[in-house]
Amino acid sequence: MNEQGSYAEAPDFQLLRYDISANVAIITLDRSETLNALNAELLLELSLAFELAEADLNVRCLIITGTGRAFAAGADIGNLQNLSDVFSGREAALAGQDVMNTLSALPFPTIAAINGFAFGGGLELALAADLRVASREAKLGLPEVGLGLLPGYGGTQRLPRLIGQGRALDLILTGRHVSAEEALQLGLVNRVADNALSEAKDLAAQMSKNAPIALGLAKEAVVRGLDVTINQGLEIEADLFGLVATTSDMKEGTRAFLEKRAAVFKGQ
């Protein structure tokens, strides 16, 4: 680790690429021959990549995307076919959920740049990110019931919280695919663009110029507040506001505003 807290060298990933540019970590799924299907090895590499980004104090935002025609076309069906009892099925679901939870819990903004197909576990991966940007050609869906399964990597829980119970059940129980435009109308994605990754990078740049601690605590306030009453959520907000008020970045941000200059945040 260098003096800035940045881990310069990533592990020797085989199924994904990990890059950092302008304080933004970019993870690219690289199993294009399988439409970036999420097998056990790729899930492990994703978990390691998320941990690597979290350990790097220079990272202020993370983008995840895919190569070729797919963001991720689901879990690896060959692996799922080997499930034979309640225990193995439960363990497979928990393993996938653990990776998605690691992404969801990262202390900075995360963006899924959905460059193509995002089905099943691939859509569940995108749902675990804070924001979703889809290319105009993207297709999204949770088709598990057509395989005799149900979404097991968090889809039955995150999708209703994002778009509401009725809309989520429509997608889950029909297993249908939706276009990027319909996904935007449903609230499933935040933006649609000609180039999802380019749009995600622009969005990340907008967020990354803000105070890192404030970004993380604002995200925490929203996420924790969704699981409690409004009054409890307001208490959480007040507590975190009190915490951020003690930071050097707050002093710098307010001073820069009064002095009519750009703030220089240091994450302190």
What confidence category does residue 33 fall into, taking pLDDT thresholds of 50, 70 and 90?
A: very high
Q: What is the CATH number of the domain that holds 234?
A: 1.10.12.10
**What's phi and psi for 42, nearest 5 deg?**
-70, -40
124, 182, 199, 237: which is the annotated catalytic residue?
124
Position 86 scores a pLDDT of 85
* Contact indicator for 111, 133 with CB cutoff of 8 Å: yes
pLDDT of residue 268: 87
113, 199 Cβ separation under 8 angstroms: yes
Same domain assignment for residues 178 and 96: yes
CATH code, domain with 163: 3.90.226.10
pLDDT at residue 79 in the model: 73
Confirm whether 23 is domain-assigned: yes
Residue 109 has pLDDT above 70, yes or no: yes
119 and 233 both lie in a single domain: no
Cα dihedral value 160, 163, 166, 170, nearest 10: -90
Residue range 65-73: average pLDDT?
Answer: 96
Q: Which one is catalytic: 9, 51, 144, 259?
A: 144
pLDDT, position 9: 66
**Does residue 264 lie within any of the structural domains?**
no
Domain residues for 26?
16-208
Burial class (CB in 10 A: 0-12, 13-18, 19+), 227: exposed
Q: Which residue has the tokens 């319909």?
A: 182
Verify that 38 and 147 share a domain, yes or no. Answer: yes
Q: Do residues 129 and 254 share a domain?
A: no
Taken as a whole, the chain contains a residue count of 268
Average pLDDT, the chain: 93
- Number of domains the chain contains: 2
Question: Based on the domain organization, do 92 and 131 belong to the same domain?
Answer: yes
CA dist 140 and 192 (Å) reads 13
Q: Are residues 160 and 128 in the same domain?
A: yes
Does 5 have pLDDT greater than 50?
no
Q: Based on the residue annotation, tell me whether 237 is a catalytic residue of this protein.
A: no
Q: Please say whether the beta carbons of 144 and 106 come within 8 A.
A: no
Question: Which stretch of DSSP H or E encloses residue 24?
Answer: strand 24-29
β-strand pairing of 191-193 with 131-135: parallel
Q: For residue 152, count other CB atoms closer than 10 A to its CB.
A: 21
Neighbours of 183 (CB within 10 A): 26
Does 144 participate in catalysis according to the annotation?
Answer: yes
Rounded to the nearest 10 degrees, the angle between the axes of helix 40-55 and helix 86-104 is 30
